[in-house]
Amino acid sequence: MPSYDYKCKNCGQKFCVIVSIEDREKVTCPECKSKNVTQIITGCSINTGSCGGSTPSKGGG
């Protein structure tokens, strides 16, 4: 299941929950129990199977 970041509009608490897509609208704030929350759009990471951005150089110098 995916995780989603939220921010409570009542108390300002930011939190992350693991919830199904169908249940995203049922999320409540863990701090004040309000349903007045908004999803925060964040970046994602993609594993390409390689580390770093550089490649070893070939040949001598």
CB 29 within 8 A of CB 5: no
How far, in Å, CA of 32 to CA of 38, rounded? Answer: 14
DSSP-assigned beta bridge partners for residue 5: 16, 40
pTM of the model: 0.65
Ranges in the chain, pLDDT < 50: none
Name the E strands within the chain.
3-8, 14-18, 37-40
Q: What's the pLDDT at 5?
A: 95
Q: What's the pLDDT at 47?
A: 61
Q: What's the pLDDT at 1?
A: 80
Q: What's the pLDDT at 56?
A: 52
Residue 29 dihedral angles phi and psi, to the nearest 5°: -70, 130
CB 41 within 8 A of CB 7: no
